[in-house]
């Protein structure tokens, strides 16, 4: 079963690293990839930013305003 995180990581791998799938396929030629450090850094930054965005959304969603707090 694919989670939202799995989907995000697959998307980053495909779009940034040109890796079509993160599923193990049992062959070295399919499971190992040469990745340049610039691309790896770009992928890591994108994953980090996605985590920051998710945390911010979760934080702001947890904020509630009660009637007594309204101006």
Q: What is the pLDDT of residue 1?
A: 45
pLDDT band at 70 (very low <50, low <70, confident <90, very high): low
- Per domain, the residue ranges of the chain are 4-62
Mean pLDDT of 60-69: 73
In tens, the pLDDT along 10-63 reads 999 999 999 999 999 999 999 999 999 999 999 999 999 999 999 998 898 888
Q: Are 43 and 12 in contact (CB under 8 A)?
A: yes
Q: How does DSSP assign 22-44, residue by residue?
A: -S--S-HHHH-----HHHHHHHH
Tokens of 66: 């009660």
Q: Is the pTM of this model over 0.95?
A: no
Q: How confident is the model at residue 66 (pLDDT cuts 50, 70, 90)?
A: low
């Amino acid at each position: 079963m694919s989670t939202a995180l799995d989907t995000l990581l697959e998307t980053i791998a495909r779009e940034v690293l040109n890796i079509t799938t993160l599923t193990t396929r049992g062959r070295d030629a399919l499971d190992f990839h040469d990745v340049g450090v610039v691309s790896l850094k770009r992928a890591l930054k994108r994953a980090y930013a996605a985590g920051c965005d998710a945390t911010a959304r979760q934080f702001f969603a947890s904020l509630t305003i009660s009637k007594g707090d309204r101006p």
